[in-house]
Structure formats: structure tokens, C-alpha cells
Structure 1
Amino acid sequence: MFPILTGLTLVSTFLLLLIAIEQHMEKTLLDRKRAGIAHLRRTTELMISLQQHRGMANSCLNGDATFRTRLPTVQTNIEQQLQAIVPLAVGNVDAHARQLSRWHVIHDSWQELKRGLFDLSPAESFAAHTRIIREVLYLMEEAADCSGIVFDPDPSNQLMAAILVRRLPELIEQIGQGRGLGAGVIAAGKCPPVSRIKLAFLAHRIDFLLNETEAALRELPSPAGRKLQAGLKDCRDSTRQFVNLLNGRVIQPAHIDLKLKPYFAEATRAIEANIALIDQLADTLHSLFAVQIGDLARPNRYAPLLPAAISTAFVLVPLTWLLP
């Protein structure tokens, strides 16, 4: 009798241990995904500030001092955002070395750019800003990969993560380049052939990325897909309005009569609409991961183990009858 009881105890203990290990592993993975979303929010803020600085600097270097007094405020924001990203990179043990190295590249490049900004030509400044922003985009992708967001087993979560990490940041960067390059053209009062080609390419690229994002979001099932439709509409309307302004008032006219502030404001509205959609996606994923963490503690989650335990008991208990 006692050997059988001992066996039952060992089996029960083993099952409980498996449950505890599974709970701990799944919670760790979900916590890492939520931390990854926090990292994405921070890096998105940094990307937006760098884009804003690029556009303002380009207009200043092209002879328009409209934004000259605002540059120090944007620079302070960038410094604070860079410092806020460090703990997130250090706290992610799996990606510590790679993300911290990327952060150092961004930090050092930014410091060099800020020090020598007004010694650069408009083209040099624009290129230097864009290289740093590209590094930030790489940092976002690394954070998402290391946190496991893009590898979620749920296809809908995977799709939302891909839009959040790759499509929308790239769309925002193309709008940001259009804002920055267009600001320089408006400040100079003319659109040279090279700038016209670049801006036409950006307008085409923005349209392409917007259509791609719309198509991806339509694949999402309800309720997540339905909740995101309002944000998608704002994103689409604001982005296309900016593209129309870029084509009609900057690229096509022989003489540019558009003022800098309205142009900058229109581009900023398009960027903010896309940021709002990013926030919606991040909130949706964060909530889903929080619900999954809550589900780990529910007893019915382990209901499939009950038949196995009962079957084991039916096999072992009758054996006690055979013992003396």
C-alpha cells in the first residue's frame, strides 16, 4: 500500500511542479513582451523628436530662422529621451550588449551632430539626422525581436506587432523626411530638380506604405480590428492630405508660395495621426498580454491535466489490492 501511495504523491508533486514551471516561464515571456512595448514607446518618442529637429534644422540652414529659437527645446527633449532609453536596454538581459552598443552609437552621433550643426550644409545635416534616425529604427526592431513581440504564437498579435514595429515607424520616417526636406525647399523659396525627384519619391513611398498598412490592418479580426478602424481613418486622411499638399504646393509649382509654418503643421498632423495609431496598437497588445498573465492563475487553464491525473489514479490504486 505504502509504495503506491508514495507513487501517487510523487506523480501529484511532479504535475504541480510542471504547472509551476510552465506558469513561471509563460509569465516571464509575457512580462518581457510588455517591457518590449515600453521600450518601443520610448524609442518612438526619440524618433519623433529627431525628425522634428531635422526639419527645423533644415529650414534654419536654408536661411529661414522661423524655428531657430525652438531648436534648444527640442535638443533638450532628445537628451532626456536618450537617457530614458538606457535603463530599458540595460534591464533587458538578453539584449543588453547589442542594444546598449546601439544606444552608444546613437548617443555619440547625436552629440557630434548637435555640436557642429551650424557648420554643416543643409544636405549634410539632413543626411546626418537621417542616419541617426535609421539607427533608432534598428534599435526598435532589436527591442521587438528580443522581447518576443513579433514571435507571438497568435497570428493576430504577430500582425499587429509587425505593423507596430516595422510598417508604421517606416511610414512616419518617410513623412518626417518629406517634412524636413520640404521645409528646406520652402525656406529656400525654390525646389531644385534633385529635391523635386527626392520629394516625388517620398510622396510615392508614403502612399505605398499607407496602402500596405491599411491592407494589413484590414486582415485583423474583430474586436481588435474594429477598434483600430477609427485610428486608421485618421491616419489615412491626415497622411493623404499631407501628400496632396506636398505634390500640389511644393513639388509641382515652378514658384513656391506656401509658408513654412502651415506646411510643417500639416506634416506634423500626419505624423501625430500615425503616432496615435501606434499608441492604439501598443495599448491593444499590452492589454492582451495582461489578460494572458491573468489567465495563468485560473484553475480551468489546467483542466486538461485532470483526466491524466484521474487515469493515473485508476491505474495505481487497484494495484494496492494486489499487495499483502
Structure 2
Amino acid sequence: MDRLFAPAEAIIGRLSYTGKIFLLVVIFAIPVGFLWWQQFSLIQDDIQDAARERQGLEYLGRAIAVYEAIPRHRGLSQAVLNGDQKARGRLDATAQEVDAALQRLTADDAQDAFKTRKHAQMIADQWRRLQAEGDTLSPAESFERHTALIDEVHRLITHFADQAGLSVDEDITLSLLSRAVVEDLLMSAEYAGRMRGIATGLAAGAFDMQAFARLRSLSDALEGRLSDLRFRMEHALDDDPGIAARLNPPLKQADTALQGFVDYIRDKALGSSQVRLATDEVFDKGTAAIGAAMKLADETEAVLADQL
């Protein structure tokens, strides 16, 4: 062992007192510098992650605008294709809203960061084909084509929420809020949108026994999603009174509006042998309920942005 350290002892023995002090400083500086660099790298990673999540939130807002507009077009299409030509003006105006929302989405540079450009462009192409063929489709075909397109938009939203780190954030509150919006709130809005479309078709004169079965199934599915939404949001808000104060009011409003729409459909379409629906009324009630859900989504996005 002495022979092993002999060369080092010889070198150190030749150093002056100042040289030995300098050597000790260097020896201790190496691990300290390494630890400092590791800490600096972690801080930089956190900054980059937060920037990526903020970018994801901005993209989320653009995608949700598409997700909200296409279901409105689906519902109005059911009215027009079932003979209610009074809804044509609202249908055309909503189509322009979808066009504008898709243009903002596909022009967003964030697509490259989240690898969504091809998916977003595919959605835009499918929308253009649906628009071109819209008046030639049966009500059932139109409904299914719209619904498939909405499902694609939701897949896009889910993908970039994961890519941006929103749904897997280390902060459990942020992760739960993100998942509550993407998995529960948006699907609750979509179930309400499907109910709105089917009920609008019934109000316009369509008669399909399967439509009543679908309304019952969707009513149950929406209530199930609302239960999941309440549980996840309450769990997320338990430990932060400030966030709870901001989100509890719009959460209650969305919950009340969506449940109220379910109750309305059950009363007017499922509660008796005669359908008691008016086209404008059922469409507007469904739209108001979905609007309350979207307000909750907007406020949750704002809270997430403030926390990043």
C-alpha cells in the first residue's frame, strides 16, 4: 500500500505550503462544482419544462375552440338535414367559425414541438371533405362523420397534453386539473353535444327509435363523466384554497348546467310517449350547458398558466 501512494507522496512533498493549499482547494472544488452543475441543469430543465407546458396551454386553447365549434355544426346539421331550413343561417355561420378555428390551429408553430402538424392537417382535410359533401349526406351519416372528426380532435388534444407534460406534471394539483379538463370535462361536453345533435334532429321531425336508446345511453354516460369530474376536481382543489376559490364557482355552474340538460332531455324526450322538443330551444339549452363547461375549461387553463 505504501508503494502505491509513494509517487503521490513524493509529488506532494515537493510542493510549497501555498501549493499544497491550492491543491486541497482544487480537490474540494471538483465535487462542489459537479454538484453545482447538476443543480444548475435541474433548474434549466424545470424552466424548459414550464415553458413547454405554457406553450402547450396556448395550443390547448386553440384546439378546444375547434372541439367546441364542430359539435355545434353537427347539431345544426341535424336540424337542416331533417327539414328545418330556418337553421341554415346559423349552420353557415358556425361553419365559418370552424374554418377560422382550424386556421388558427394549423398555423400554430407549436405543432412542430408537439409533433401534431400532420394530425391537425388531417383534421382540417376531413373537415373540408365533410363541408363539401354535407348536403348530400343523410342525417345519420352526417352525425357519424362529425362525431368521428370530433373524436380525432380529442385524440389530438390528449396527445399534446401528454407531450407538453401537462397531464403528467410532478405537481399533483396541476396534473389532476389537466386530466380533469382533457379526460372528464371535454368528454362531458361531447356527450352533451351528441345529445344536443340527436335531440335537435328529433325536434326537427326525425323519428328513429334508436335515437331514444342513444339518448338514454348518453344521459347515463354524461352523468358518469360528471361524477368523475367532481371527484378529480375536488381532489385537486383540496390542498389549495386559492385555486379552489377560483374554480369552485365555474365547476358548480358547469355541473348544474350539464346535469340540467340531462334532466331536460329526460323530461322532454324520454319521460313520455310524446316528444316535446322545439328545435331552437333544445339546441340553445344544449349549447348553454356546453358553454358552461367551456368556461370551466377556460378558467382552469388560466389557473394552470398562473401556476407554471
Q: Same fold (TM over 0.5)?
A: yes
Question: What's the offset of the Cα at 1:7?
Answer: 4.0
Question: What's the offset of the Cα at 1:15?
Answer: 4.4
> What do residues 225-246 of structure 1 show as CA deviations (whole Å, max 9, x unaligned)?
3432211211121112111111
Q: Does 1:213 align with 2:240?
A: no
Q: Distance in 2 between matches of 1:218 and 1:12?
A: 44
* Aligned position for 1:42: 62
1:115 aligned to 110, 132, 156, which one? 132
Report if aligned partners of 1:191, 1:251 keep a CA contact under 8 Å in 2.
no
* Aligned position for 1:157: 174
Report if aligned partners of 1:187, 1:260 keep a CA contact under 8 Å in 2.
yes
Q: What is the identity, as a one-letter code, of the residue corresponding to 1:251?
A: L
Q: Does 1:147 align with 2:167?
A: no
Larger Rg: 2
Report if aligned partners of 2:59, 2:110 keep a CA contact under 8 Å in 1.
no
Question: What's the offset of the Cα at 1:214?
Answer: 1.1
* Aligned position for 2:142: 125
Report if aligned partners of 1:191, 1:250 keep a CA contact under 8 Å in 2.
no
Q: Distance in 1 between matches of 2:112 and 2:69?
A: 27
> What do residues 46-98 of structure 1 show as CA deviations (whole Å, max 9, x unaligned)?
0111001000111000000122012222222211211211244x4354532xx
Report if aligned partners of 1:51, 1:173 keep a CA contact under 8 Å in 2.
yes
Report if aligned partners of 2:127, 2:149 keep a CA contact under 8 Å in 1.
yes
* Aligned position for 2:79: 59
* Aligned position for 1:299: none
Q: What is the identity, as a one-letter code, of the residue corresponding to 1:274?
A: A
Q: Does 1:228 align with 2:247?
A: yes
Question: What's the offset of the Cα at 1:127?
Answer: 0.4
* Aligned position for 1:194: 210
- Show structure 2 runs of 5+ residues with no match: 1-20
1:274 aligned to 288, 293, 299, which one? 293
Q: Distance in 1 between matches of 2:234 and 2:155?
A: 26
> What do residues 13-51 of structure 1 show as CA deviations (whole Å, max 9, x unaligned)?
444433332222111011111111111111111011100
Report if aligned partners of 1:217, 1:225 keep a CA contact under 8 Å in 2.
no
1:252 aligned to 271, 288, 304, which one? 271
Q: Does 1:80 align with 2:100?
A: yes
Q: What is the identity, as a one-letter code, of the residue corresponding to 1:3?
A: L
TM-score by length of structure 2 reads 0.87
Q: Distance in 2 between matches of 1:214 and 1:252?
A: 27
Q: What is the identity, as a one-letter code, of the residue corresponding to 2:123?
A: I
SS in 1 for 2:167: helix
Q: Distance in 1 between matches of 2:190 and 2:230?
A: 17
* Aligned position for 1:102: 119
Figure out how many residues of one structure are paired with residues of the other and give that number.
285
RMSD over aligned CA atoms reads 1.8
* Matches for 1:171-190 after TM superposition, within 5 Å: 171-188=188-205
Question: What's the offset of the Cα at 1:3?
Answer: 2.2
Report if aligned partners of 1:49, 1:74 keep a CA contact under 8 Å in 2.
yes
Question: What's the offset of the Cα at 1:10?
Answer: 4.6
* Aligned position for 1:296: none
SS in 1 for 2:256: helix
Question: What's the offset of the Cα at 1:5?
Answer: 3.5
> What do residues 167-220 of structure 1 show as CA deviations (whole Å, max 9, x unaligned)?
1110000000011111111001x5431111011111111111112211222222
What is the percentage of aligned positions where both structures have the same residue?
24
Q: What is the identity, as a one-letter code, of the residue corresponding to 2:202?
A: V
SS in 2 for 1:150: coil
